[in-house]
Structure 1
Amino acid sequence: MSRVCVISPFTGLAGDMLLAALVDAGAPLEAVRAAVADTGLTGWDLAVTPVLTHGLTGRRATVSVTDGATSRKAGELIAMASRVRDREVAEVAVAALRAIAEVEGRLHGEEPDQVHLHELGGHDTLVDIVGVAAALRALDVRAVHCEALPIGAGTVRTAHGVLPCPAPATSALLAGARVVGTSLSGETVTPTAAALLLAIGADYGPAPAMRMGSTGYGVGTRTLPDRPNVAVVRLGDREPADVRDLVVLETNLDDVTGEVLGYVVALLLDSGALDSWITPVTMKKGRPGHVLHALATPEAADGIERRMLVETGTLGVRRTTVRRDAQPRETDTVQVRGMPVRRKHGPHHGKPEYDDAVTVARQTGLPLRTVLGMAARSTEER
């Protein structure tokens, strides 16, 4: 099993909201505190307490500070995060802080390590970033998926004055993220949250099929009149990839026409081959030729080999045992010009089904590449 965390930023996302939601979902607070203590940070305490808001009980993370250091240079925070003994936690925390430093450095024309972090340089930022990394590690999360982030309008007040929402640093950190507009005003996604999503490699595609586990609710400090201000995390276990031994059958051909080769590939697929393909090669005496390949289960290999022998007239077929790691995949359907196009999604990539896109292209007169692009960009829910 592989543990997955799905983040649903109902009203937005901040570092403290994500930390509180992970603790609410079962991350041990002791592990979070221990990781933060490794940094050498002094004069702080972290409490994660139940909060009832609009009929929903979640948790709120609060950092209490007893020393006067309210801001630091980025290099100081990075050095502190690097002291965390668990290297996986340290790597995520350092990556998040470096992302903030690089963005702030570009915005202010300074070297990343030397840039002075104001709102982001206090205790809260280090506690939230190290805490989230430690919570994910304690929960053994191996993949994070995030739903579309709601982006608020209006302004946010910073040490540099009033800036538009999202703040410039947040906008830069969210490059490539999936976002959506919201009726909420003000800052709905913080730079800390954006940097954490970047550092943990959050995927914004459809969440994978998984066996549902615990759910956690992280409550923000802002009070909304008509809804709970929460971020939600759902934990689940994904079935492992289908790993099995298969057989590759192949034969060299220099006297079979292209028409026959195309027919044989289709025939082998219809006969039970998992895949079939052709590779152009130069054979002995400089003759052009092709290698016909077929991928089959061990049980189907004999029948596939007989087909290859009969249809091509070849004098021999080679066999190689290979191990295939088949990743989990799922399919959804979107509408393009009122017609359905299926899309296949794996853990790292998705694409429209070619045959469906061809049907739409033929019936609408649109170029096939346009149909494929429209289907890939569609945000229609399943």
Structure 2
Amino acid sequence: MSRVCVISPFTGLAGDMLLAALVDAGAPLDAIRAAVADTGLTGWDLTVTQVLTHGLTGSRAVVSVTDDATSRTAGDLIAMAGRVRDRQVANTAVAALQAIAEVEGRLHGEDPDRVHLHELGGHDTLVDIVGVAAALHALDVRTVHCEALPIGAGSVRTAHGVLPCPAPATSALLEGARVVGTSLSGETVTPTAAALLRAIGADYGPPPEMRMAATGYGVGTRTLPDRPNVAVVRLGDREPADVRDLVVLETNLDDVTGEVLGYVVAHLLDSGALDSWTIPATMKKGRPAHVLHALATPETADDIERRMLAETGSLGVRRTSVRRTALPRTTDTVHVHGLPVRRKHGPHHGKPEYDDAVTVARQTGLPLRTVLAIAAESPEEH
């Protein structure tokens, strides 16, 4: 199984909102605190509290600070994040902080490691970034999808003065992200959130089909008059696609009858071929023919080839190496007039098993197409 995280930035996204949403969805707070403690950061405490806002209960992450160091250089934060013992968590946190450092350095014409972070140099940034990385790791999230980020208008006050929204650093970090305008004013996406999305390789396309596992709501500090200020995460599981290197065997046949071809295809499937099929062809001198194919694993290809040659009398077989992606599939059984029909379901389509439908048609006298239609549409016995 592969764990998927889908982020829905309902009113925007900040590092603390994402962290709170992941905790609300089940990320263990102790593991997050332990990862932050690895950095050597002192004078902090992280709590997550339940908040009711506009009829919705969610979690809010609060960082309490007793240390008076309010800003650090990017190099300081990167070095601290690199101390986290779990290398996957450390690598994600370092990547996010390096993204911030590179953007801030480019904007201010400074060396990225030496650029002095003001609002981003405090405890909150390190706790949020390391905390999110640790939460995703603890939840065993493999892929992250993010819906379009709402971008507010207006301005934001920074150490450099009043700047347009989104702030220049945020705009640079969001390059390649999918965004949408919103009626909300002010900063709706923070540089920390944008850097985290970049570091974890968030995909902005449609999320995959998945089985829902948990939902978490992260509440921001800003209070809105008409809606909850939340970011939502949805966790789900999906079966990974099976990608394998296989072999296609094929031979041209212009002197084999249709009856023999039908037998050979069935015989190859019974002998271990993953698939077998024929394609009509026209050979030299206008002779009608068929191309017989078989799909096999590298381990069974030799045996399948010998059977193709023996059954058809062909003088040669061609081989092609291919890579096949097989999507996960499940099966269930429905009943049509009391008789079982198995159905195969993939991520995008499902259909009844042909042989079962034929058995039902023969025993009931129903047309085969009717049996197939009933079985395809029905969740229960007919």
TM-score between both structures, scaled by the size of structure 2: 0.71
8 Å CA contact retained: 1:246, 1:295: no
Matched residue, 2:115: 115
Q: Residue type matched to 1:296 in 2?
A: L
1:195 & 1:276 partners in 2: Cα distance?
53
Q: 5 Å matches for 1:330-349?
A: none
| Cα pair distance change 1:9/1:276, threshold 3 Å | farther
1:87 pairs with 2:87: yes
Matched residue, 2:3: 3
Q: Residues 5-60 of structure 1, C-alpha deviation per residue, up to 9 Å, x if partnerless?
A: 00000000000000000000000000000000000000000010000000000000
SS of residue in 1 equivalent to 2:120: coil
Q: Residue type matched to 2:4 in 1?
A: V
SS of residue in 2 equivalent to 1:88: helix
Q: 5 Å matches for 1:230-309?
A: 230-243=230-243, 246-250=246-250, 296=295
SS of residue in 2 equivalent to 1:248: strand
1:56 pairs with 2:56: yes
Matched residue, 2:183: 183
Report the Cα offset of residue 243 of structure 1.
Answer: 4.8
2:180 & 2:162 partners in 1: Cα distance?
23
8 Å CA contact retained: 1:250, 1:317: yes
Q: 5 Å matches for 1:125-164?
A: 125-164=125-164
Matched residue, 1:67: 67
1:111 & 1:276 partners in 2: Cα distance?
64
8 Å CA contact retained: 1:145, 1:202: yes
| Cα pair distance change 1:275/1:106, threshold 3 Å | farther
8 Å CA contact retained: 2:33, 2:131: yes
8 Å CA contact retained: 1:248, 1:321: yes
Matched residue, 2:377: none
2:328 & 2:226 partners in 1: Cα distance?
39
8 Å CA contact retained: 2:276, 2:292: no
Report the Cα offset of residue 241 of structure 1.
Answer: 1.4
1:33 & 1:226 partners in 2: Cα distance?
34
Q: Residues 345-367 of structure 1, C-alpha deviation per residue, up to 9 Å, x if partnerless?
A: 99xxxxxxxxxxxxxxxxxxxxx
Report the Cα offset of residue 247 of structure 1.
Answer: 3.6
Q: Residue type matched to 2:295 in 1?
A: A
| Cα pair distance change 1:295/1:157, threshold 3 Å | farther
1:211 pairs with 2:211: yes
SS of residue in 2 equivalent to 1:135: helix
8 Å CA contact retained: 2:296, 2:304: no
Matched residue, 1:222: 222
Matched residue, 1:375: none
RMSD (Å), alpha carbons: 3.4
8 Å CA contact retained: 1:23, 1:216: yes
Q: Residues 70-106 of structure 1, C-alpha deviation per residue, up to 9 Å, x if partnerless?
A: 0000000000000000000000000000000000000
Q: Residues 194-251 of structure 1, C-alpha deviation per residue, up to 9 Å, x if partnerless?
A: 0000000000001000010110000000000000000000000011213567441156
1:231 & 1:306 partners in 2: Cα distance?
59
8 Å CA contact retained: 1:153, 1:185: yes
2:112 & 2:248 partners in 1: Cα distance?
51
Percent of aligned positions with the same letter in both sequences? 81
Matched residue, 1:369: none
SS of residue in 2 equivalent to 1:100: helix
8 Å CA contact retained: 1:216, 1:233: yes
What runs of 5+ residues in structure 2 fail to find an aligned partner? 253-264, 266-273, 280-290, 330-346, 349-382
What runs of 5+ residues in structure 1 fail to find an aligned partner? 254-267, 278-291, 330-344, 347-382
8 Å CA contact retained: 2:170, 2:191: yes
Q: Residue type matched to 1:141 in 2?
A: V
| Cα pair distance change 1:158/1:314, threshold 3 Å | farther
Q: Residue type matched to 1:189 in 2?
A: V
Matched residue, 1:259: none
8 Å CA contact retained: 1:248, 1:293: no
